[in-house]
């Protein structure tokens, strides 16, 4: 399919309420900056960053979606092909936490069943304004089988870790998937049902 210079390609989609800091997280990770006066995202933004993990080039396609309600139908169309979802809320905004079940319903409805979801509590630099305790978020994440991480796009806390850990997890999932697929020779329409990960592996 492609002679491009990478070993793995993954799609990561950021979702969550408007203003929780999705764009800032992406910009911090891809450009190493905290944009002042970041405006609300219109539709979806698209960015690519290639990272190296244990000598392997991993190309991350990052889709930064708009949190505002009116873009929901656009962003929903990206769930299905996502390898990973970063569900973000703002630790200084109870409301953004309370909306999480609604987002989980969306994931349930539209995303691939194999998708990896990470819950991210952003803006931990605003410690004095914290409205959602870490424990509460961790407990919630556990009930939903999600990884949980707290970040600050502003202070660059855990941002790198968020994406790199995710990439590592995606690689190991992709490896398992390729193994599972090559083991059984599938009947028509079975087994290989959605070879969404093995198409990314070029080795």
Partner 1 sequence: MEATVSSCKVVEGGGGSSRSRSQFSMQFISNLTDLQELEEVYGRLCAEQNDAESQLEMLVNQQSSIENKMTVLQRMGPNLQLIEGDAEQLSGMISFTCNLAENVSSKVRQLDLAKNRLYQAIQRADDILDLKFCMDGVQTALKNEDYEQAAAHIHRYLSLDKSVIELSRQGKEGSIIDANLNLLQDAEQRLKVIVAEKFSVATKEGDLPQVERFFKIFPLLGLHEEGLSKFSEYLCQQVANKAEENLLLALGTDLSDRRAAVIFADTLTLLFEGIARIVETHQPIVETFYGPGRLFTLIQHLQVECDRQVDKVVDKFIQQRGYHRKFQQVQNSMMRMSATDKIEPRELDPILAEVALMNARSELYLRFIKRRISSDFEVGDSMASEEVRQEHQKSLDNLLNHCLLSRTMQEVIGYYITMEEYFMRETVNKAVTMDTCEKGQLTSSMVDDVFYIVKKCIGRALSGSSIDCLCAMINHSTTVLESDFREVLCNKLRMGFPATTFQDFQRGVTSAVNIMHSSLQQGKFDTKGIESMDEAKLSFLVSLNNVEVCSENIMTLKKTLENDCTKLFSQGFGGEQAHAKIDSCLTDLASVSNKFRDLLQEGLGELNTTAVKPQVKPWINIFLSVSHNIEEEEFNDYEANDPWVQQFIINLEQLMAEFKTGLSPVIYDNLTSLMTSLIAIELEKVVLKSTFSRLGGLQFDKELRSLVAYLTTVTTWTIRDKFARLSQMATILNLERVTEILDYWGPNSGPLTWRLTPAEVRQVLALRMDFRSEDIKRLRL
Query: For binding to Mg ion (CB under 5 A), which residues are involved?
Result: 22-23, 41
- What is the closest distance, in whole angstroms, from the C-beta atom of residue 144 to ligand GTP in the complex? 20
**Closest-CA residue to 182 (of 160, 203, 156):** 203
CA distances from 88 to 14, 25, 31, 150, 202 (A): 7, 10, 19, 10, 31
* Closer of 66 and 82 to ligand GTP (Cβ): 66
Whether residue 80 contacts residue 110, with contact meaning beta carbons closer than 8 Å, is answered with yes
Q: Is the dihedral of CA 55, 56, 57, 59 positive or negative?
A: negative
Applying CB under 8 A, among 50, 77, 133, 134 the residue interacting with partner 1 is 77
* Closer of 64 and 141 to ligand GTP (Cβ): 64
Under DSSP, the state recorded for 83 is S
**What does 44 bind: partner 1, ligand GTP, Mg ion, none (CB cut-off 5 to 8 Å by kind)?**
partner 1
* Closer of 8 and 29 to ligand GTP (Cβ): 29
x/- map, 46-85, ligand GTP, by CB under 6 A: --------------------xxx-----------------
């Amino acid at each position: 399919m492609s002679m491009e210079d990478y070993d793995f390609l993954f799609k990561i989609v950021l979702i969550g309420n408007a203003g929780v800091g999705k764009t800032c997280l992406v910009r911090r990770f891809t450009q190493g900056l905290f944009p002042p006066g970041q405006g609300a995202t219109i539709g979806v933004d698209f960015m690519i960053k290639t990272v190296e993990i244990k000598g392997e080039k991993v190309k991350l396609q990052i889709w930064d979606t708009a949190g505002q309600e009116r873009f929901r139908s656009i962003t929903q169309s990206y769930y299905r092909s996502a390898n990973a979802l970063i569900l973000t809320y703002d630790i200084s905004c109870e409301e953004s936490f309370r909306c999480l079940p609604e987002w989980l319903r969306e994931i349930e409805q539209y995303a691939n069943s194999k998708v990896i979801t990470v819950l991210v509590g952003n803006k931990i630099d605003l410690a004095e304004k914290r409205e959602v305790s870490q424990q509460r978020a961790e407990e919630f994440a556990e009930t939903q089988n999600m990884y949980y991480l707290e970040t600050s796009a502003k202070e660059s806390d855990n941002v790198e870790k968020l994406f790199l850990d995710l990439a590592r997890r995606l690689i190991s999932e992709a490896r398992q998937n390729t193994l599972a697929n090559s083991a059984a020779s599938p009947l028509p329409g079975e087994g290989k049902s959605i070879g969404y990960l093995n198409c990314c592996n070029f080795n």
